[in-house]
Structure 1
C-alpha cells in the first residue's frame, strides 16, 4: 500500500471536538471513510502517494503548503491531523494563485529520483508521472477551493 495522504472536509465543531477527544476523532474519521459515497456535504481527495512529488514541486516553486507540517496533530501516532477553516482558506487562495505550469516547470525526474522523492518512480515513465502529479494537483485545488467555499476545515489522514 505505501504511505498516503488524504483529506476529508470537517466542520469547526468536529475539529474542536477532535482536539479535545482524539479517540473520538480517530473513530469518527474512520467511520466517514467507511460509508458509501458521495455525501453531499462532505468533500474529500487524495493526493494519495502523489504527496511526495507535489511537495517537491511546492518547495521548488516556493508554495508554502507542507503536507506533514501544516495543520495540528490529533492522534499521537501522527496519522491524523486537523486543518482549520482559516488554514484551508489560506491554502485554497495560494493554490488558486499557483497555476500548474508554475509547478511543472520544476519537474525534474532525474533529480527527484536521486533525492529519493517518494514514491521514487520518476524515471520509469517521466511523462506519465507528470500527468499523475497534475491530476493529483487538480484534485487538491478542487478540494481546498470547495472546502473553503463551504467554510470547512479538514481532517488529513497520513497512513503508512
Structure 2
C-alpha cells in the first residue's frame, strides 16, 4: 500500500463546517472525488490535488529551504476527525494558503533541488526510500512540485483553505 499526499480546496464556509463536523468533511471530499474522477481538471481549476508518493521528498526539500508553511502535512488538526488513511486530515487556513502560494511562486523547482542528490534522501529515510537508494532522478518530485504551485495559487486567489491528508 502506498502513502499518497492529498489536498482538497475548501471555501472558508466549507472549512468551518469541516472543523465542526469532520464526518461531513469526509463525505464532502468523497463527493469531490466522484465529481473530478473522470474530468481530470488542470491543477489551477481542480478542487482536489495529489502529489502521489512525492509528499515526503517535498517535505524534506521544503524544510531544507526553510519554507514558511507546512504545505505537506497542514498546520492545524481537525479535532475528532477519523483516520483518513495515515491519520486524520489537517488544514491550512486561507491566510496561510496565501503565504504558501506566494512562497511557492518565489521558489523555482530548480532551487528546491539545487545541490541535492538522491543519496541524501535515501540517507534521510525519505519515503519511498527504495527510489532514492536506486539513485533515481528528482524529476518525479519536481514534476509534482510544479503541479502543486498552480493548485495553491488558485486556492489563494479565490480565498480557499486547504484540507491535507495522507491516504
Unaligned runs of 5+ in 2: none
Aligned counterpart for 2:78 among listed residues 67, 73, 81? 73
Q: Distance in 1 between matches of 2:74 and 2:9?
A: 18
Aligned pair count?
157
TM-score, normalized by length of structure 2? 0.83
Q: Tell me, yes or no, if structure 1 residue 118 matches structure 2 residue 122.
A: no
Tell me: CA distance 1:54–1:126, structure 2 relative to 1, closer, same or farther (3 Å). Answer: same
Partner of 1:105: 114
Partner of 2:62: 58
TM-score, normalized by length of structure 1? 0.87
- Report if aligned partners of 2:32, 2:48 keep a CA contact under 8 Å in 1: no
Partner of 1:47: 51
Q: Distance in 1 between matches of 2:32 and 2:17?
A: 15
- Report if aligned partners of 2:51, 2:144 keep a CA contact under 8 Å in 1: yes
Partner of 1:33: 33
Q: Cα RMSD (Å) of the superposition?
A: 2.0
Q: Tell me, yes or no, if structure 1 residue 134 matches structure 2 residue 131.
A: no
Q: Distance in 2 between matches of 1:102 and 1:7?
A: 23
